[in-house]
């Protein structure tokens, strides 16, 4: 089956060109001048992209479908969450398999694979959360690398749950250095944060806003600095997840300026939301915006610094940390955010975003003049493909690449709302936000899975991605 996407402007991380794209089966077989002779005749299907951008499908390298957290589960399943991702122009996710204390790394991986297998609407890979570093887990890292899971996430936060101490972190980093795998870090000083939380509760400070206030930016920048020092000591590649503090970003910039293989991402919630207008909302509304790292104060200028970091490549990726919890009871999972009424420490941490990211970065980045079209694609697709061993199969429009393609209409004005999204969560953090640009058609490996408001794919279309070891240096 051959598909031709004609008349559009192809945008990659490098080029913006008027071109037709010819697909055979699952891959792109040719890119040619508009109206290339004979292509329309041989195509079984022609998609008219006149006036539209033709871009690589988005890659979100940080999602948590069905994550058990804070006494409940993230409300999107692999089925609902990946379908929503497709509507938002994302054709690949990398989710996190979890090893809990006392369990083997491989058992954790197998459990997550079983949850995702035959459920996903788009292609998927896994990072492994190593929650219990010991001799066995270190040697099991080799097994997972052979299975295409080439990145391991550690937590400096959440003592007693996912937390690893500096010794364990160093051991895991040494192993990662020896195997060309990536260490991903949740960089917050969890020990210090726990003290601040306890003291806030003792003072009777129980509202959602205290979640943000008890995780001051120094707890993020200190941990980021420590992670960099340990990675340098081990000779490991480091990728710091969900950065929200400008001081932490300065640590990343300094490390990169020294030539260290240090990478970092931020997420839409840190670029668009703030304490004053969101987390500090009346009553319990602020719980919608409780996540870790936290949303920070507008007046402290973190957002401008993060956007600048995205523009200058101090930050390389925008992911989502998609981890939704409902404000009212979920029909199957029951009480979610409201577990924390009267005690902010019990609010499950996380926000939805997997459907929003690609479009929001277009709007806030390109439309509002902070980055150009090519950087939009690099931040939301290409860089993640390179950093996490999927390039050039994923992350670009090139001959031989998977035909994961989004036809994007840059001229549509619309308003974001829970009433139009497909994520299984009962609110939108961006409710009422007026945006420009909309995903129109989405192809996964050559097959149209989204056409406007219609879903044409099937559960299980998505395939597991065997990822390569790390080969990026900077």
Residues found near ligand DUC in the complex (CB under 6 A): 64, 69, 186, 291-292, 321, 323, 349-350
Q: Which is nearer to ligand DUC, 21 or 238 (CB)?
A: 238
Q: Residue 263 or residue 408: which is nearer to ligand DUC going by CB?
A: 263
Among 75, 469, 60, 429, smallest CA distance to 242 is for 60
| 66 binding Zn ion? (CB under 5 A) | no
Closer CB to ligand DUC, residue 138 or residue 184? 184
Contacts of 37-44 with CB under 8 Å at 24 or more apart are 39/4, 39/6, 40/4, 40/6, 42/2, 43/2, 43/3, 43/4, 44/1, 44/2, 44/3
Closest approach, Cβ 345 to ligand DUC, in A, equals 13
Q: Which does 302 bind (CB under 5 to 8 A by kind): Zn ion, ligand DUC, none?
A: none
Closest CA to 387 of 271, 473, 300: 473
User: 298, exposed or middle or buried, with CB in 10 Å at 0-12, 13-18, 19+?
Assistant: middle
Query: Smaller CB distance to ligand DUC: residue 186 or 237?
Result: 186
Q: How open is the CA angle 114-153-178, to the nearest 5 degrees? A: 105
Can you tell me the distance from the alpha carbon of 276 to that of 278, in angstroms, rounded to the nearest whole number? 6
Number of residues that bind Zn ion (CB under 5 A): 2
Closest contact distance (angstroms) between CB of 95 and Zn ion is 10
> Which residue, 39 or 155, is less far from ligand DUC as judged by CB?
155
Q: Minimum Å distance from CB 313 to ligand DUC?
A: 24
Q: In whole angstroms, how close is the CB of 411 to Zn ion at the nearest point?
A: 34
Q: Which residues pair with 436 in a beta bridge?
A: 413
Tokens 């040697």 map to which residue? 139
Contact segment (CB under 5 A) with Zn ion among 184-192, 328-336, 387-395, 401-409 equals: 184-192
Residue 144 or 291 with smaller CB distance to ligand DUC:
291
Among Zn ion, ligand DUC, none, residue 291 binds (CB under 5-8 Å by kind)? ligand DUC
Task: State the binding string over 296-325 for Zn ion (x if CB under 5 A, else -).
Answer: -------------------------x----
Tell me: does residue 288 bind Zn ion (CB under 5 A): no
**Does 186 sit near Zn ion (CB under 5 A)?**
yes
When CB distances to ligand DUC are compared, the closest residue is 291
* 186 vs 246, beta carbon nearer Zn ion: 186
> Strand ranges (DSSP E) for 303-404?
317-318
DSSP labels for 121-183?
SSEEEEEEEE-S-SHHHHHHHHHHHHTT--EEEEESSSTTTTB--HHHHHHHHHHHHHHT-EE
Cα–Cα distance measured from residue 457 to residue 448, given in angstroms and rounded to the nearest whole number = 7
With binding defined as CB under 5 A, does residue 188 bind Zn ion?
A: no
Please give the helix or strand (H or E) that residue 401 lies within, else none.
none
Token digits of residue 2: 């051959």
**CA nearest to 292, candidates 249, 243, 251:** 243
- In the bound state, the residue with its beta carbon closest to Zn ion is 186
| DSSP code of residue 216 | -
Question: Is residue 122 a contact partner of residue 461, using CB atoms and an 8 Å limit?
Answer: yes
What is the closest distance, in whole angstroms, from the C-beta atom of residue 62 to Zn ion in the complex? Answer: 6
Quote the least distance from Cβ 157 to ligand DUC, whole Å: 7
In whole angstroms, give the CA distance from residue 239 to residue 228. Answer: 9
* Chosen from Zn ion, ligand DUC, none, partner binding at 349 (C-beta under 5 to 8 Å by type): ligand DUC
Dihedral angle sign, alpha carbons of residues 340, 344, 350, 351:
positive
Please say which residue, 62 or 445, places its beta carbon nearer to ligand DUC. Answer: 62
Of residues 3 and 214, the one with the C-beta less far from ligand DUC: 214
- Residue 237, interface with Zn ion (CB under 5 A)? no
Q: 325 near 348, Cβ under 8 Å?
A: yes
Three-class SS state of 390: coil
Interacting span for Zn ion (CB under 5 A) from 115-123, 159-167, 186-194, 380-388: 186-194
Sign of the C-alpha dihedral, residues 300, 303, 309, 315? positive
What tokens appear for 192 in the block? 């210090």
- CA dist 27 and 460 (Å) reads 19
Using CB distances below 5 to 8 A depending on partner kind, what does residue 289 bind out of Zn ion, ligand DUC, none?
none
Tracing tokens 């539209």 back to the chain, one arrives at 52
Nearer to ligand DUC, 350 or 389 (CB): 350
In the complex, the smallest distance separating the C-beta of residue 348 from ligand DUC, rounded to whole angstroms, is 8
DSSP letter (8 states) at residue 388: T
Both tokens of 62, joined, read 């940080």
**Interface mask toward Zn ion for 337-376; x: CB under 5 A:** ----------------------------------------
Which C-beta is closer to Zn ion: that of 124 or that of 408?
A: 124
Which among ligand DUC, Zn ion, none contacts residue 94 (Cβ within 5 to 8 A by kind)? none
Q: Find the shortest distance in angstroms from Cβ 241 to Zn ion.
A: 5
Q: Shortest distance, CB of residue 31 to Zn ion, whole angstroms?
A: 35
Kindly state the smallest distance separating residue 321's Cβ from ligand DUC, in Å.
Answer: 6
Q: How far is the CB of 98 from Zn ion (least distance, A)?
A: 11
Question: Which stretches of the chain bind Zn ion, using CB under 5 A?
Answer: 186, 321
């Amino acid at each position: 089956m051959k598909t031709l996407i004609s008349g559009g402007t192809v945008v990659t991380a490098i080029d913006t060109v008027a071109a037709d794209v010819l697909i055979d089966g699952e891959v792109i077989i040719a890119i040619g001048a508009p109206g290339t002779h004979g292509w329309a005749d041989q195509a079984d299907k022609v998609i008219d992209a006149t006036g539209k951008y033709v871009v690589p499908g988005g890659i979100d390298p940080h999602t948590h479908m069905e994550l058990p957290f804070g006494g409940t589960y993230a409300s999107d399943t692999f089925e609902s969450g990946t379908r929503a991702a497709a509507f938002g122009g994302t054709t690949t996710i990398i989710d996190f398999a979890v090893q809990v204390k006392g369990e083997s790394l491989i058992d954790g991986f197998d459990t997550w694979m079983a949850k995702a297998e035959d459920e996903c609407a788009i292609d998927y890979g896994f990072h492994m959360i190593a929650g219990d570093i010991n001799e066995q887990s270190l040697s099991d890292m080799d097994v997972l690398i052979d299975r295409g899971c080439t990145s391991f996430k550690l937590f400096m936060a959440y003592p007693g749950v996912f937390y690893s101490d500096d010794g364990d972190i160093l051991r895991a980093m040494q192993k990662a250095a020896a195997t060309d795998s990536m260490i991903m870090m949740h960089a917050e000083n969890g020990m210090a944060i726990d003290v601040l939380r306890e003291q806030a509760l003792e003072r009777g400070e129980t509202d959602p806003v205290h979640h943000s206030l008890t995780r001051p930016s120094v707890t993020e920048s200190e941990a980021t600095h420590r992670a960099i020092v340990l990675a340098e000591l081990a000779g490991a590649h480091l990728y710091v997840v969900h950065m929200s503090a400008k001081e932490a970003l300065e640590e990343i910039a300094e490390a990169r300026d020294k030539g260290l293989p240090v990478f970092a991402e931020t997420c839409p919630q840190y670029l668009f939301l703030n304490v004053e207008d969101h987390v500090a909302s009346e009553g319990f509304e602020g719980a919608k915006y409780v996540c870790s790292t936290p949303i920070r104060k507008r007046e402290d200028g973190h957002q401008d610094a993060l956007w600048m970091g995205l523009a200058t490549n101090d930050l390389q990726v925008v992911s989502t940390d998609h981890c939704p919890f409902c404000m009212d009871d979920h029909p199957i999972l029951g009480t979610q955010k409201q577990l924390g009424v009267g005690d902010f420490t019990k609010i499950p941490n996380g926000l939805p975003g997997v459907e929003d990211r690609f479009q929001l970065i277009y709007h806030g980045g390109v439309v509002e003049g902070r980055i150009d079209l090519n950087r939009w694609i690099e931040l939301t697709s290409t860089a993640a493909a390179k950093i996490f061993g999927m390039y050039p199969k994923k992350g670009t429009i090139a001959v031989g690449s998977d035909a994961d393609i989004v036809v994007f209409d840059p001229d549509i004005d619309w308003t974001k709302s829970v009433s139009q999204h497909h994520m299984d969560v009962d609110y939108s953090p961006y409710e009422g936000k007026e945006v420009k640009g909309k995903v129109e058609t989405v192809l996964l490996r050559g097959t149209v899975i989204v056409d406007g408001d219609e879903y044409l794919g099937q559960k299980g279309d998505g395939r597991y991605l065997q990822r390569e070891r790390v080969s990026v240096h900077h």
